[in-house]
Amino acid sequence: MDRYCVFGNPIAHSKSPEIHAAFAAQTGQQLSYEKRLAPLDGFAQAVQDFIAEGGKGANVTLPFKLEAHALADALTVRAQAAGAVNTLLFGADGIVGDNTDGAGLVADITRNAGVPLAGKRVLLLGAGGAARGAVLPILEHRPSAMVIANRTVANAEALVQQFSALAGTGVLSASAFEALQGSFDIVINATSASLNAALPPIPATVFHQGTLALDMMYGKEPTVFMQFAAEHGATVRDGLGMLVEQAAEAFQGWRGVRPETSALLVQMRSKL
């Protein structure tokens, strides 16, 4: 049976084994998928051990996404752009690093929420690992404008510099939270502020009636960002769909078949 796993530290909370077991059952694929706690100073060795045991691929979560990027022998275009890796494929040519987080976010917005990105004004809050992975997949859908706002504005500016040639003239810009002007069709919170029940200091005017506001974090209750957005007319969504879709994207890369996600998403939501 082909073996896969997710590496992280901590890892006990990971929902990936449950998600991939459901995908395997649904698509009739014979595989096993486990959680592996990698030591903080022993990620590369943990990966090599898993390969030696016959592992075919792995997911990578905090805090190892940058190390996974450095470890890979080859990178997909989106992993190069993200500068981080959340999916590894082990093959005859070595370790291939991929990043499915951004594609998962875009799939959740366009397929699950049914909101196209093309021609839309998009606001991305944050410039950390998750935000960086989202920029290329969003730009590929040709929004009319994309503003990246971050607490440390220089980090947002660095992202704009990295992607501006691809975005086209005038499409991509950076901002401080407080300086944001105008409203947006889609607002994505890729900051980790929600983890501490904090809200980036954005003006309420970024939302208009029907704006899609998505927080990458997920939980039983709406985050403070989702509550704030809803109070100002937005339709809100958390990061559970993104989580399931990034897994579907990884599963497709490993197994060549894309699982259906909607029933699993409903099931996982009911268990939060």
Q: Assign 184 to helix, strand or coil.
A: coil
The stretch among 112-120, 160-168, 189-197, 260-268 that binds ligand NDP (CB under 6 A) is: 189-197
Residues in 192-211 that interact with ligand NDP by CB under 6 A: 192-195, 198, 200
Q: Which residues are registered as beta bridge partners of 186?
A: 122, 212
Interface mask toward ligand NDP for 155-184; x: CB under 6 A = x-----------------------------
Q: Which is nearer to ligand NDP, 87 or 144 (CB)?
A: 87
Which member of 65, 120, 220, 271 is catalytic?
65
Among 45, 49, 118, 152, binds ligand NDP (CB under 6 A): 152
Q: Is 87 in the site for ligand NDP (CB under 6 A)?
A: no
Token pair recorded at residue 171:
């499409």
Interacting residue with ligand NDP among 122, 242, 248, 265 (CB under 6 A): 242
CB 134 within 8 A of CB 190: yes
Q: Does 24 bind ligand NDP (CB under 6 A)?
A: no
Instruction: Enter the tokens of residue 186.
Output: 């889609």
Of the pair 97, 239, the CB lying nearest ligand NDP is at 239
Tell me the DSSP string of 194-245. Answer: GGGT------GGG--TT-EEEES---SSPPHHHHHHHHTT-EEE-SHHHHHH
Q: Which residue number places its CB atom closest to ligand NDP?
A: 128
Instruction: Verify whether residue 65 is a known catalytic residue.
Output: yes
User: Exactly one of 129, 137, 253, 259 binds ligand NDP (CB under 6 A); which one?
Assistant: 129
User: Would you say 31 or 248 has its CB closer to ligand NDP?
Assistant: 248
Identify the CA nearest to 149 among candidates 102, 188, 108, 121.
188
101 touches ligand NDP by CB under 6 A: yes
How many whole angstroms separate alpha carbon 214 and alpha carbon 54?
38
Q: DSSP secondary structure string, 94-137? A: EEEEE--HHHHHHHIIIIIS----TT-EEEEE--SHHHHHHHHH
Catalytic residues: 65
Q: What residues line the site for ligand NDP (CB under 6 A)?
A: 101, 126-131, 150-152, 155, 190-195, 198, 200, 216-218, 239, 242-243, 246
